[in-house]
Amino acid sequence: MSEYAIKGIYRDRLLDERGTEFFDSGWKPNLIVTTCRVLLGSFMNNDNTAKGIQSLQVGRGNQSWDTNPPGPPDPNAVKLEDPTPFVIPLASLVIQYLNDSDAIVSNPTSRIQIVATLGPNQPTAQTYQLREFGLFGSSKGLPCMIDYIRHPLIEKSGSVTLERRVRLIF
């Protein structure tokens, strides 16, 4: 991969009802899919029908991944495997610029961090099995996948908070 390639990484943390961390995945790579590059091309061509990050979706994925881990996601994927993912809309995401040291800064940079928090009882008060997620923008009014990750099973109970951080480096 070229040093100039778009890169994505993510980190998941699970917090109990007191806010005490009991799981940290560490930083792991995710896949920037082809439609992200198309979306960037739309921005550069001043296409006013293109919109940046609009949501983060989490899904159950495929239960067979628990015993037979899937291969890497298809770079041409346009949606999650889960046909009914839980959608975290833009208004519930925190998007920040980062400098080269990963410190939050106010001016635009070539690095951004997206923080999504699934609080207690989200997406349900019951246990929710998570195996995949993706960031989505919009092009011509339709969802446009930006990145995609399949990960080992996370069982999120209703009392637990999941904090997911995604960093994109352009």
The pLDDT, as a whole number, for residue 3 is 59
Q: Confirm if 117 and 161 have CB atoms less than 8 A apart.
A: yes
Q: What is the pLDDT of residues 131-155, one digit of tens each?
A: 999 999 999 889 999 999 999 999 9
Which residue range is the domain that position 80 belongs to?
9-169
**Section 28-34 average pLDDT:** 93
Assess if residue 105 is contained within a domain: yes
Assess if residue 106 is contained within a domain: yes
Band of the pLDDT at 25, cuts 50, 70, 90? very high
Q: What is the pLDDT of residues 88-117, one digit of tens each?
A: 999 999 999 999 999 999 999 999 999 999
Assess if residue 1 is contained within a domain: no
Give the other-Cβ count within 10 Å of 145's Cβ.
24
Assess if residue 3 is contained within a domain: no
Q: How many domains does the chain have?
A: 1
With a cut of 60, say whether residue 14 has pLDDT above it.
yes
* pTM of the model as a whole: 0.91
Comparing 71 with 79, the larger pLDDT belongs to 79
Q: Which residues contact 75 (CB under 8 A, 6 or more apart)?
A: 31, 32, 33, 34
Task: Compute the CA torsion angle 86, 89, 93, 96 (nearest 10 deg).
Answer: 130
Assess if residue 34 is contained within a domain: yes
Based on DSSP, count helices (H) and strands (E) in the chain, helices before strands. 1, 11
Assess if residue 4 is contained within a domain: no
